Amino acid sequence: MQATQTRYSSEEYLEREKTAEFRSEYRDGEIIPMTGGTANHNQIVNNFCVALMLALKSQPYRVYTIDLRLSIPEKNIYTYPDAMVIATPVIYAEGRRDTITNSQIIIEVLSRSTESYDRGQKFEYYRRVDSFREYILIDQYRYYVEQFSKTEDGKWWLSEYEGDGAILSLSSVEFQISLSDIYENLEFE
């Protein structure tokens, strides 16, 4: 006997998210619960985004963390990146103020449970967003950051940063941060 799999419309998902205790992603009919973050995960997001917000303060960008949803209509996906940079004006999904469609930079802090999804299929989904130019993957277990930057001809280039003295320079906005600042106040396992 086969188990029946429940499929949901995107409208059903969005309605369920309004009252859900925990956030979930939506992938073409499936609702996938998101795992909770660790103290290190949250500290990395905070360290990176506070510095980024200050650097972009009077520029035409917005920095959003964790609770703003990204819609990828081409793939029928709704997801919550750890952080996003959006060039203004912010473009919201139709009829929504909690879901955007025009992320330029996406930052994900890698965890053991989501690392291969973040590197693979999720990155493939993100690349369907026309405004998407840069993908930052931050390892939470060691001083290591990967930066994927989209070139003018649509190719993606990888730059790697390792060690507390390394300095990450974003390619699509003016911003630099040392890995020691990203990882400040962390306790590695």
CATH number of the domain bearing residue 133:
3.90.1570.10
Answer yes or no: is 8 within a domain.
no
Answer yes or no: is 187 within a domain.
no
Q: Give the range of the structural domain holding residue 115, as residue numbers without chain letter.
A: 37-182
Answer yes or no: is 53 within a domain.
yes
DSSP-derived 3-state class of residue 65? strand
Answer yes or no: is 22 within a domain.
no
The dihedral through the CA atoms of 154, 70, 188, 114 has a sign that is negative
Answer yes or no: is 20 within a domain.
no
Answer yes or no: is 32 within a domain.
no
Task: State which residues of the chain have pLDDT below 50.
Answer: 1, 3-4
99-100/69-72 β-pairing:
parallel
State how many domains the chain has. Answer: 1
ω into residue 73 within 30 of 0, thus cis?
Answer: no
Answer yes or no: is 19 within a domain.
no
Answer yes or no: is 57 within a domain.
yes
Can you tell me which residue has the tokens 């990155």?
123
- Which pLDDT score, from 0 to 100, does residue 5 have? 60
pTM: 0.93
